[in-house]
Amino acid sequence: MLRTTLAGLRLHKSRYVTTVLAILLGVMFVSGTMVFADTLNANYEESVMGSATSVDAIAEPTMEEPEGPEPPEEPVPFTGEQLDEVRALPEVAEAGGILEDQTVLLDADGRAVGFVPPAAVALDGTSRLSADEGELPSNGDEIALATSTAEQTGFAVGDTVTVLDSEQDKREFTLTGLVEFGVDPTYSSRGAVIFDPATIREMTGAEGYGEIDVLAAEGHTPEEVADAVAAALGSGAEVQTGEEYGLELAENVGGQTEMLRVALLLFALIAMFVAGIVIYNTFAILIAQRQREMALLRCVGAKRGQVFRSVLAESMVVGLVASALGVLAGVGVGMAGARFGGPMMGVETSVSVVITPTAVLVGMAIGTVVTVFSALVPATRATRVAPLAALRTSATAAGLEKGTGWIRVVFGLLAFAVSAGLVALSRTMEMSPYLLFIVTGAALIAFVGVVVLGPLLVRGIVRLVGVPLRKVGVPSMLAVDNSTRSPRRAATAMIALTVGATLITGYSVISSSTEATMTRMLEEQFPVDYQITPQFSMEEPEESGSEGAEEAPAEGTEGTEAAAGQHEGAAASGENTEGEPAEGDAAGETGAGSAEQGGGAEEVSDAPEFPTVPDEVRVALESQPDLGQVFGQSSAFVGQDDGGGLPVYTYPGAEVGVDVTSDVVEGELTGFDPGEVVLAQSYADDAGVGIGDTFTISSENGEDLSLEVVAVVEDMQMLSGVTVTEEDFTRAFPGVDEAEMLFVRAAEGADPAEVRDAVYTAVEDHPTMQVGSAAEMKNQFTQMLDIAFYTIAAMLGLAIIIAVFGISNTMALSVLERTRESALLRALGLARGQLRRMLSVEAVLLCLIGAGIGIALGVLFGWAAGAAVLPNMIFAIPSVQIAVFIVIAVLAGLLASVLPARRAASTSITGALASE
C-alpha cells in the first residue's frame, strides 16, 4: 500500500500544487512570525544587556508605595554626598551618577518639542550609557541628543540646537553626538537632551542623581559591590547588579514583543484555518474522483484500514513537503521583517537573524498536523467506497453531490438563531471590551451555520443571480447549471474566501465607524479651528505667570505624570479637550464630592497645577484680524475625602450652549446665567441631584457656593465635570486668573493659510505654547486608522490568497472530472473561447458568493464589535472598500479560472471521448 500511495503521489502530483501552496503560505506566516519575534527579543536583550553589563552595579532611588488613594510620591534623587560615599567604598573602583531634570528643546521652526519636555541628562563619571554616534558633550557649547529625539526633530551631528534655560532664555549648542537609550522606558517616550555636568546645573539647576553606576574594584564580584552600595545608600535605594538590571529591563521589553508575537500568530492561525479548508476540499474532491481506484484496491484485497492509512499517508507526505518549504519561506520572511520592519521598532538593521529550533519544529508540526487532520473526513469517506464501484464505467465523482437534508437545515438555522441571539444579548449588556468575546463567539457560530447551510445558500444565490446570466449567452447558461450541479463542493470551496472576506470587511466597518465617531467627537468637543496649550512641566511651577497663581487650585490628584498624560491625551486626540482626568477615574469612580443637595464641599485640592497660557498670548491672538473669536478654559479641583477630585470648569469669552456644548440628557443649556451649574451625567448620578436641585461647591475662601442645576449632559464630551459661569468661578476661585487652554476660531471668510500664520505669529514669543488644529488632529487620526487597516488587511490578504488557490484547485479538479463532458460540448459546437468563458463565469460566481456572504457577515459583526467598545458609535459602511472587495472577488475568480480553463480548452476532443 505504501508503494501504491507513493506511486499515486508521483502520478497525480500536479493535483497537489495549489494544496502545497496553501500549506506553504500558512506555515510561512507561522515560522516567519516566530523568527521575527525571536530576532526582536534577541536584539532587545543584546541592546539592554550590553549597556547594563558594562557596569557591575546600578542603584536607583526607591519609589515608595502610596497608602490609600494618595498618588505615589516622586522618588528622592541621590545627592552628591551619597555619590562620594559610594566612590569611597573599598569594593568600588569607579562610580558615576546620571544627573536628571527636564529642559525645553526647540525644533527647526523654533517650537517646543513634545507636549512634555524631554529629559535633561548629564553623565557625571562612569556610566552605562555612551555615544552611539559622535561624542558626548565636554563643555558648555556642546550637546548630545537621544537618537529617538534626533529622529523626531531631524537634527544631525554638527547641527546647531536651541534649548531654553530655566529663565526661558534661548541658548544655542552644537550637536556633537547621539546616545542610544534603547528601550529604557524612562527616556523612550519623552526623549532626552544630554549636557555636560556643569552645563546641566547651569541650565536647569539639577543637583540630584537619578541613577548611580558602579564598577567593581579588583577582586570583588558584582554581587559584593551591589551589597556594599545598598548598605551605603540605605533603604532609599534599589541596587541591582548590571546583569540583574538588564534582565529585568529585557523581560519588560520581551513582554511587549510577546504581545506582538501573539497578535501575528492570530493572523497565522486564520491563514492555517483557511488552508485547512482548502486541504479538506482538495482531498474530498480527489477521493470522490478516485472512487474506481479505491474500489479496485478493495477488489484486489486492500482492507478498509489500509485504504484509510493510505490516504492519511498521502496527506502526511504532502504536509511534510509543503511545511518544509513553508519553513524555508518563513525564515526568509522573518529575515526581511527584521531587516525592513525592525528599525521601526528600535532594532538595528545589522542585527543577526535568530532561527530557533522551536520556530522550525512548530512550523513543520502545524503544517503537517493541519494537513493530516483536514484529510481525516475524506480518508474516512474513502473506506466506504464499495468494491463493485470498480465495475462502473463512469468516473464521475460521487459523494459530494448529496442533497441537504432537513437535519442540516434545522441545525444550520439553529446556529444562525443562536448567533443572532448572542449579538442581541451584546446590545443589551453594559458596554465593555469583554463583549468582544460574545461577538466573536456569535461570529464563529454563524460560520458553522454557513458551513452547514452552504449548499442551500449556493443553490439559492446561483438561481437568483442566474436569471439574468442565462440570457447573456450559452457559456453563462452552462456556467449557472454547472454551479448548481455540486453545491456542496462549491460551498466547501467558497467558505475559505468567506472567512477572509468577513474578517477584512468586519475590520473595515470598525475602522470606518471609529473614524466617523471620532470625527463627530472632534467636531463636538473641538468646535474651533485651533487650540493653544502650554507645554506641560513635570515639575511644580514656582509661579504661573500671574499674581496669586501660587494659591490657585491644582488640576488633578493623580500625580504630576498622570496629570500630564491626561492633559496630553486631551490636547493630542481631541477626545477630551478640557484636560480633565479620565472619566471614571478621579472623576467618575471617586465621586462628585459636594453632591448632596444643600450640603458642604471639601477643601480645594493642593495637587500639582497645570501651567497656564499667559494673558499676552490671548491679547496677541485677539489682535489678529484673521481670527474671529478667542475664548479660554479655566479649571479648579475640589479635593474629596476619598482622594478624588471634583473638576470645576468655566469658559471665559464663550457662550455655553453655543460656543461650547454637549449632548443634553435633561434640562437646557441656553440662557446659562450666574447661580446656575451644568453637570456631567456621572457627577449628577453620584450626587443624586437633578434639574432644579441645589449643588454646592467649596471655594478658596472657605465659603460654599450654592448653585441650581439647570442641565445634565452626556459624559466624555466638551462640557464635562462641573461647569459654572465665569462670574461664579471667579467668586469661588479668585486665584485662577489665566486660562489653561485657549480656543481660536477663524474670522468668517479668512484664508486657512493666513489663519495658521496668524496663530503662529501670536505665539512666536512663547515657544512652549503647543498649537493644535482640529483638521490636523483629524488627519493624524485618519492616517493612524488607515495604516492600521492596511496593515491588518495585508495580513488577512494572505487568507484571501490561500482561498483563491483553493478555488483554483477546485476548478482544476472539476475540469479533470468533466473532461469527457467538456469534449462533448466542444464536439457539439462550443468554441474554445466559449468553454474558457464558461469556466471563468463559474469561478467568478463562486468567488462572488463567498465574498458576498463574507461581506454581509463582516458588516453585521463589525457593527456588533464596534458597538461593544465605542460609546455612541456612528455606524458607517465603507462602501468604497466593499466595492473594492467585490472587484477583487471578480478578479480572483478570473485568476482562479485561467489555468483550468486553458487546460480544458486545449484537451483533444477525440482523445477525451475515447479515454473512457
Which three-class secondary structure string do you get for 172-210? EEEEEEEECCCCCHHHHCCCEEEECHHHHHHHHCCCCEE
- Say whether both 36 and 115 belong to one domain: no
d(CA 875, CA 861): 12
Whether 851 has a pLDDT exceeding 70, the answer reads: yes
Model confidence at 903, pLDDT cuts 50, 70, 90, reads confident
- Asked if 191 and 118 count as a contact pair (C-beta separation under 8 A), the reply is yes
- The predicted model gives 847-854 an average pLDDT of 87
Residue 177: predicted pLDDT:
92
CB 640 within 8 A of CB 604: no
Give the C-alpha separation, 489 to 288, whole Å: 11
Chain segment 295-330, per-residue pLDDT in tens? 777 777 778 788 788 888 888 888 899 899 989 988
The model's confidence at residue 588, banded by pLDDT at 50, 70 and 90, is very low
How far apart (Å, rounded) are the C-alpha atoms in residues 193 and 179? 9
- Choice between 298 and 825, residue whose per-residue pLDDT is larger: 825
Q: What is the pLDDT of residue 273?
A: 76
Instruction: Give the span between the Cα atoms of 67 and 573, in whole angstroms.
Output: 33
- Among the residue ranges 87-96, 254-263, 585-594, the one predicted with the least confidence is 585-594
Question: What local confidence, expressed as pLDDT, does residue 594 receive?
Answer: 38
CB within 8 A of 336, min separation 6: which ones?
none
Per-residue cell: 298: 478493495
Share of the chain above pLDDT 90, in %: 14
Do residues 157 and 78 share a domain? yes
Spatial distance between the Cα atoms of 730 and 181, rounded to a whole number of angstroms: 46
Local confidence band at 85 (pLDDT 50, 70, 90 cut-offs): very high
Query: In this structure, is residue 444 part of a structural domain?
Result: no
DSSP-derived secondary structure letter, 341: I
| Mean pLDDT within 724-729 | 92
DSSP assignment of 51-109, as one string?
Answer: HHTTSSEEEEEPPPPPSTTSPPPPPPPBPHHHHHHHHT-TTEEEEEEEEEEE-EEE-TT
DSSP state of 339: I
Question: 861, 504 in Cβ contact below 8 A?
Answer: no
Who wins on pLDDT, 600 or 833?
833
732 with 587, same domain: the answer is yes
Lowest mean pLDDT among 526-530, 535-539, 682-686: 535-539
Chain-centre distance for alpha carbon 610: 30
Among the candidates 743, 768, 793, a domain finishes at: 768
pLDDT one-digit tens code per residue, 137-168: 988 899 999 888 888 888 999 999 999 888 88
How many residues can be counted in the chain? 916
DSSP 8-class letter at 234: G
Of 576-590, 816-830, 875-889, least confident by mean pLDDT is: 576-590
Q: What pLDDT score was predicted for residue 544?
A: 36
CA distance 618 to 546: 14
Average pLDDT value for residue range 51-68: 76
Spatial contact of 491 and 457, defined as CB atoms under 8 Å apart: yes
Residue 460 maps to a domain = no
Q: Which of 768, 785, 819 is the last residue of a domain?
A: 768
Going through 759-824 in order, the beta strands assigned E by DSSP cover 769-773
Complete DSSP assignment for 661-677: ---EEEE--TT--TTEE
CA distance 803 to 800: 5
Spatial separation of the C-alpha atoms in residues 228 and 244, rounded to whole Å: 16
Least confident interval from 13-17, 295-299, 722-726? 13-17
pLDDT reported for residue 897: 80
Predicted pLDDT at 255: 56
Same domain, 176 and 273: no
Contact call for residues 243 and 49 (beta carbons, < 8 A) = yes
Record the cell numbers describing residue 384, joined without a space: 466506504
The CA-atom distances, in angstroms, between 299 and each of 11, 295, 387, 389, 905 are 21, 6, 5, 10, 35
CA distances from 690 to 298, 680, 713, 801, 812 (A): 84, 11, 11, 58, 71
Tell me how far CA of residue 121 lies from CA of 47, 58, 273, in angstroms: 20, 17, 51
pLDDT at residue 382 tops 60: yes
Beta pairing partners, 307:
none
Residue 582's nearest CA partner among 565, 566, 559 is: 566
> Please, which residues have CB within 8 angstroms of residue 856's CB and are 6 or more apart in sequence?
none
Q: Where are the beta strands (DSSP E) in 625-703?
A: 627-639, 645-650, 664-667, 676-680, 694-698
Asked if 70 and 179 sit in the same domain, the reply is yes
Cα(436)–Cα(869) distance, rounded to whole angstroms? 8
CA distances from 238 to 62, 220, 241, 244, 619 (A): 6, 20, 10, 12, 50
* pLDDT at residue 2, as a whole number: 58
Q: Which stretch, 70-79, 539-548, 611-620, has highest mean pLDDT?
A: 611-620
Average pLDDT over residues 778-797: 71
* 781 in a structural domain: no
| Residue 182 C-alpha from the chain's centroid | 22
pLDDT of 417 strictly over 90: yes
Q: What is the pLDDT of residue 525?
A: 61
Q: Is 870 part of any domain?
A: no
Mean pLDDT along residues 438-451: 85
Cβ-based neighbours of 406, under 8 Å, separated by 6 or more:
none
The alpha-carbon radius of gyration of the chain (Å, integer) is 35
Determine contact, residues 709/598, Cβ cutoff 8 Å: no
Predicted pLDDT of residue 93: 92
Per-residue pLDDT, 438: 86
* Spatial distance between the Cα atoms of 179 and 217, rounded to a whole number of angstroms: 27
For residue 430, being part of any structural domain is answered with no
**pLDDT > 70? residue 44:** no
Report if residue 812 sits inside a domain.
no
Q: What would the grid cell of residue 799 be?
A: 487568507
Average pLDDT, the chain: 77
Cα–Cα distance measured from residue 429 to residue 869, given in angstroms and rounded to the nearest whole number: 12
Query: Rounded to whole angstroms, what are the CA distances from 822 to 368, 462, 735, 818, 840?
Result: 36, 21, 91, 6, 14
**End-to-end Cα, the chain, rounded Å:** 26
93 and 208 part of one domain: yes
Q: Are residues 369 and 259 in the same domain?
A: yes
Does residue 243 share a domain with residue 230? no
In the chain, the number of structural domains is 3
Last residue of a domain, one of 739, 768, 797: 768
Q: Quick one: pLDDT band at residue 568, thresholds 50, 70, 90?
A: very low
Same domain, 762 and 703: yes
Across 29-43, 523-537, 647-661, the highest mean pLDDT is recorded for 647-661
- What is the per-residue burial (b if ≥16 Cβ within 10 Å, else e) of 126-159? bbbbebeebebbeeeebbbbbbbbbebbebebee
Examine the domain organization and report whether 711 and 760 are in the same domain.
yes
pLDDT band per the 50, 70, 90 thresholds, residue 114: confident
Phi and psi (nearest 5°) for 771?
Answer: -105, 120
Over the stretch 211-242, which tens digit does the pLDDT of each residue have? 999 999 998 999 999 999 999 998 888 999 98
Cβ(33)–Cβ(357) under 8 Å?
no
In this prediction, residue 543 carries a pLDDT of: 40
Average of per-residue pLDDT across 520-526: 68
Whole domain around residue 228: which residue ranges? 58-238
d(CA 308, CA 385): 11
Are residues 625 and 544 part of one domain? yes
Do residues 900 and 811 touch, judged by C-beta distance below 8 A? yes
* pLDDT score recorded for residue 725: 93
- Cβ-in-10-Å burial (0-12, 13-18, 19+) of 464 comes to exposed
CB atoms within 10 A of CB 197: 16
Minimum mean pLDDT among 298-307, 345-354, 536-545, 611-620: which range?
536-545
Residue type for position 444: L
- Residue 412 belongs to some domain of the structure: no
Stretch 881-905: mean pLDDT: 82
Per-residue model confidence (pLDDT) at position 606: 45
User: Largest alpha-carbon pair distance within the chain?
Assistant: 107
> Is 558 inside any structural domain?
yes
pTM above 0.85, yes or no: no
The answer to whether residue 49 scores a pLDDT higher than 80 is: no
630 and 654 in contact (C-beta within 8 Å)?
A: no
Question: Are 191 and 252 part of one and the same domain?
Answer: no
